């Protein structure tokens, strides 16, 4: 009898993450790649990687769970058993690893969120999708400006003894302030440490504003790999910050766990990577809403459509 496994996909605007777990929530395969503006293409790249990692094991993918900004689209093409928002996915994934967690910091490529938990239940949350100054994309752009790899940011920041104060209100202010401080003669390591502190200040003053931050605190998302930002967080909140080795995969883990709990028996096939999927937009025009309907085709056959705000825009499959 083959082993039942469960696939979780977290498709973001910057990166696409995926995990395959067993019945005990152990990760048996995982990968993190860039979305590159093509969520369907990113998922197609992931699936053969998982198939190779799983090798010759006797298994079946019993259910698929999907989260992230492209969750509805990818949920359709994978026939997902469950499609959930990022708040739920990250909370479930984190609680599975750290049952006593009270606060979750999450900073991704283009957005950030805070989740407050009490006795295993989400009690409050906030998301920030407007200001880039508190995200990974901001750090990446500044790394390019400074001529260093963003992966080196944390290591360099930790060598600074006097982090440069950087305006953290928004990207425009931060970038102009960075240029000004560099022209004044501040060292690169001090500026990088200042940028890490600026990201934390922006996060706490926007996403965390008015929130009661209670330990234990778990930090996740791509930016959690930056040791400079971790240090800045610990100094700002005066508490230890926990970062899991799979901190960038927690959303995918959470939705994989939710898929397992659906008790589905779909026997998902990785050969979906060879199927041609196309999305097309169409304006309804049947009422004043002028809805843009998104249609998705599998080998030229319409399999789903969404975007209509009333029945007039309903498209029959």
pLDDT tens digits for 104-151?
A: 999 887 788 999 999 999 999 998 856 655 677 778 878 888 888 878
Residues 61 and 165 in one domain: no
Q: For the chain, what is the domain count?
A: 3
Residues 192 and 120 in one domain: yes
134 and 172 assigned to the same domain: yes
Assess whether 169 and 264 both reside in one domain. no
Name the more confident of 255 and 142.
255
In this prediction, residues 269-280 reach a mean pLDDT of 80
Handedness of CA 252, 257, 260, 261 (dihedral sign): negative
* pLDDT of 41 strictly over 80: yes
Q: Where is average pLDDT lowest: 12-16, 77-81, 135-139, 164-168?
A: 135-139
- Mean pLDDT, rounded, for 154-164: 87
Q: Is the pLDDT of residue 168 over 70?
A: no
Residue 254 has a pLDDT of 97
- pLDDT for the residue numbered 285: 78
Q: Give yes or no: residues 63 and 35 share one domain.
A: yes
**Span 15-26, mean pLDDT?**
95
| Residues 198-231: tens digit of each pLDDT | 889 888 988 898 999 999 999 998 889 889 999 9
Q: In terms of residue numbers, what domain contains 295?
A: 277-313
* pLDDT for the residue numbered 169: 67
| 104 shares a domain with 14 | no
- The 8 Å CB, 24+ separation contacts for 295-300 are 296/73, 296/76, 296/77, 298/77, 299/275, 300/276
Does pLDDT of 265 surpass 90? no
Mean pLDDT of 49-74: 91
Put the strands of the sheet holding 27-34 in their side by side order: 27-34, 15-21, 3-11, 59-67, 82-83
CATH of the domain at 261: 3.30.420.40
Task: Return mean pLDDT, the chain.
Answer: 87
List residues bridging with 59 in a β-sheet: 3
Q: Average pLDDT of 146-162?
A: 84
Q: Are residues 133 and 213 in the same domain?
A: yes
pLDDT above 70 covers a percentage of the chain that reads 95
Q: Sign of the CA dihedral 125, 128, 134, 140? A: positive
User: In the 8-state DSSP scheme, what is residue 23?
Assistant: T
Does 183 lie in the same domain as 282? no
Same domain? For 268 and 281 the reply is no
257 confidence band (pLDDT: 50, 70, 90): very high
pLDDT above 90: percentage of residues in the chain: 45
| Per-residue pLDDT tens digits for 291-307 | 888 888 888 888 888 77
Are 71 and 87 within one domain? yes
**pLDDT score of 31 more than 60:** yes
3-class state of residue 137 by DSSP: helix
């Amino acid at each position: 009898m083959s082993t039942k496994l469960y696939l979780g996909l977290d498709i973001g605007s910057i990166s696409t993450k995926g995990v395959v777990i067993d019945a005990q929530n152990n990760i048996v395969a995982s990968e993190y790649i860039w979305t590159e503006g093509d969520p369907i293409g990113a998922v197609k790249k992931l699936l053969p990687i998982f198939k190779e990692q799983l090798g010759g094991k006797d298994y079946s993918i019993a259910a698929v769970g999907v989260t992230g900004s492209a969750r509805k689209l990818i949920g359709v093409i994978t026939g997902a058993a469950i499609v959930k928002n990022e708040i739920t996915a990250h909370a479930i994934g984190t609680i599975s690893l750290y049952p006593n967690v009270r606060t979750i910091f999450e900073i991704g490529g283009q957005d950030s969120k805070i989740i407050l938990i009490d006795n295993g239940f989400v009690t409050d949350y906030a998301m920030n999708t407007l200001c880039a100054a508190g995200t990974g994309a901001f750090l990446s752009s500044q790394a390019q400006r400074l001529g260093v790899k963003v992966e080196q940011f944390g290591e360099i920041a930790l060598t600074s003894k006097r982090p440069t104060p950087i305006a953290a209100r928004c990207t425009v202010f931060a970038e102009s302030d960075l240029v000004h401080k560099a022209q004044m003669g501040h060292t690169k390591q001090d500026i990088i440490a200042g940028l890490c502190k600026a990201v934390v200040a922006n996060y706490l003053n926007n996403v965390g504003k008015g929130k009661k931050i209670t330990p234990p605190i778990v930090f996740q998302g791509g930016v959690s790999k930056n040791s400079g930002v971790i240090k800045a967080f610990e100094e700002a909140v005066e508490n230890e910050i926990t970062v899991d080795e799979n901190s960038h995969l927690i959303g995918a883990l959470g939705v994989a766990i939710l898929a397992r709990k659906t008790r589905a028996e779909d026997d998902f096939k990785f050969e979906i990577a060879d199927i041609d999927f196309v999305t097309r937009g169409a304006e309804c025009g049947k009422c004043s809403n002028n809805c843009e309907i998104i249609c998705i085709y599998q080998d030229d056959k319409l399999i789903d459509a969404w975007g209509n705000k009333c029945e007039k825009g309903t498209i029959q499959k």
